[in-house]
Structure 1
Amino acid sequence: MRSIVPAADAALTPGTHQIDIDGVRQVYHVAGTGPVCLVHSGGPGMSWEYLRMSALEEHLTMVYLEPIGTGDSGRLADRSEYRIDTYARFVHGVVEHLGLPRVHLLGHSHGGFVAQRYALDHPDRVAGLILFATSPVTGPEFWADAMANLQNLPARLPHRPEAAGIPAAFPEALASADDDTFTERMSHVLPAYFGDYWAQEAEIAPVFATFRAWIAPSGGEEPAPFDVRDALGSLTVPALVISGEDDFICGTRWGRMLHDSMPKSQLLVLDCGHMAHLERPEAFTRAVADFVNG
């Protein structure tokens, strides 16, 4: 891995940064002030902007990654290399570049898988772990649970006729053959990721006005389903698990499993879907800021 460690203040200047990791461009953005929190968005293949947390920037120095294969970051020549351990390797390249002994690490959804992998591989570099709307395991049972919850969306929101077509639209989005089609179709199914999207549409819709998705990194399941439940028991890094009651894909079942797997974790359950930072911003911000500063 080629990465020159600079003075931390240069690497953490507010704005957009670009570094080289193993010959691949890695872009990240810095905003805010306070303890450093590195943020890895979900997907894989989703643009990072939806995870911008302006309220947290009043408490923390937020370092938002553009995961490889998305945005202005580079693409990997071999699509099969888009694995959780690869994303974790790029996280380590950024941590090294920042020149700090330890950082807080926030991973959302698939980014939570990456954060768990990184914390297990480099526990000495993680001051605290924020696992947001994620799970310690995937595989057939995980996906069956998600699809059952998705099919139940119209029944859960009978007063929202727009919800009726989303269960059928989701597999069509995953079957997209190009980036533009994937972006368009995912935009149509985004309401599934919220407790009640239409109740907060005025606040949420602008966040996704420039939403982009890239199909290339979405090469399917890992060589084996992600499962770190047994390994997490050895992790002594403090952790905050945030889970939404109406999260169809990474709900409280998986959040509680994460919490039960880690000896130094705390669990926050909110009445929302997959996007607590947008649906319950005050409670989310308070919990993360208190966790980091505490």
Structure 2
Amino acid sequence: MPFATTADQAKIYYQVRGSGEPLVLLSGQANTHHWWDNVHADFEDDYLTIVLDYLGTGQSDKPADAEYSVRRFAGDVIAVLDDLGIARAHVYGTSMGGKVAQWVAIDHPDRIGALVLGCTSVGGTRGLRADAEVTRSLAQPSADAAREALIDLMYTPEWVRTHPGPYVTLGGRMPHHARRGHLRASNGHDSWAELDRVTAPTLVLHGADDIFSPAENAAILAGRIAGAELYYLEGARHAYFEEQQAESSGAVLRFLAEHPLS
């Protein structure tokens, strides 16, 4: 199995499919590469797609004493590219993966082609967080009730009625220390002061009805990156990339085609 070794000697699992210019797909918080299972095929005919398990998830190492931060995860992405011998790649990150993607673009501008940021935020005091009612719905003592609340944040009831699951975006099993580390990493993200350093062509997508990461975050983020394009998916919630797959994947493919690596 393919593993990249990070600066602190952690092993990061990754998969590669398809052919063409390289495209890294970055998952949401506390999720493995399976986040992309239902969407992956949209890109692999045109791109060499790379997915990975973050530190603490899936088949990657899960050390208790490691740093868990989105900026660290961005460095782990570079370790994967180095392991593959890839100098530059496009990067598409959703939810926490969009935060990781921001730091790839900020810290490693020479390694990135086009940048796509989905259902994500600048974080810090400038980013908008889910309101208290949403937070309470996910903190219920009943695991089943919390799961149903998360499904409702991800997808519209109409879509759920015709797509009964299983849902690949709800997170997987991971040690408690790693789950806490992912929560701290995502909540600790604050890229506002650094985003003006992003030089990659950037597309920002967001479900217009997303309250998990409030939809206004898209305009805040796009407004901070010079020349960024903004695209709302009407009627979509947090998992816009699945519920409105044809439209969202089409928008991403058009953008990538407009901004080739060479």
Q: Which amino acid aligns with 1:193?
A: L
1:287: which partner in 2?
251
Q: Which amino acid aligns with 1:50?
A: W
Secondary structure of the corresponding residue to residue 273 of structure 1: coil
Q: Which amino acid aligns with 2:15?
A: H
1:228: which partner in 2?
191
TM-score by length of 1: 0.76
Q: Could you report, residue by residue, the CA deviation over 1:55-108 in whole angstroms, capped at 9, with x for unpaired residues?
A: 2223322111111100111112315x1112221121110121221221011111
Q: Which amino acid aligns with 1:89?
A: G
Q: Is the 8 A contact 1:139 1:225 kept in 2?
A: no
Q: Distance in 1 between matches of 2:124 and 2:116?
A: 19
Q: Which amino acid aligns with 2:54?
A: P
1:72: which partner in 2?
59
Q: Which amino acid aligns with 1:98?
A: L
CA 40–245 in structure 1, closer or farther in 2 if over 3 Å, else same: same
Secondary structure of the corresponding residue to residue 237 of structure 1: coil
1:172: which partner in 2?
140
Identical columns (%) = 25
CA 259–209 in structure 1, closer or farther in 2 if over 3 Å, else same: closer
State how many pairs are aligned. Answer: 251
5 Å matches for 1:153-232? 168-172=136-140, 187-203=147-163, 205-208=165-168, 212-214=172-174, 215-217=176-178, 218-219=180-181, 220-221=183-184, 225-232=188-195
Residue 127 of structure 1 pairs with residue 127 of structure 2: no
2:232: which partner in 1?
269
Residue 137 of structure 1 pairs with residue 123 of structure 2: yes
Shift of 1:282: 0.7
CA 71–124 in structure 1, closer or farther in 2 if over 3 Å, else same: same
Q: Distance in 1 between matches of 2:121 and 2:169?
A: 28
Q: Is the 8 A contact 1:204 1:278 kept in 2?
A: no
Q: Which amino acid aligns with 1:90?
A: D
2:131: which partner in 1?
147
Residue 18 of structure 1 pairs with residue 17 of structure 2: no
Q: Distance in 2 between matches of 1:140 and 1:255?
A: 12
2:86: which partner in 1?
100
Shift of 1:223: 11
Q: Is the 8 A contact 1:149 1:249 kept in 2?
A: no
TM-score by length of 2: 0.85
Q: Distance in 2 between matches of 1:168 and 1:249?
A: 12
CA 140–241 in structure 1, closer or farther in 2 if over 3 Å, else same: closer
* Cα RMSD, aligned residues only: 2.7
Structure 2 unaligned residues grouped into runs of 5+: none
Q: Which amino acid aligns with 2:139?
A: P
Rg bigger for which structure?
A: 1
CA 203–255 in structure 1, closer or farther in 2 if over 3 Å, else same: same
Q: Distance in 2 between matches of 1:50 and 1:103?
A: 20
Q: Distance in 1 between matches of 2:62 and 2:213?
A: 27
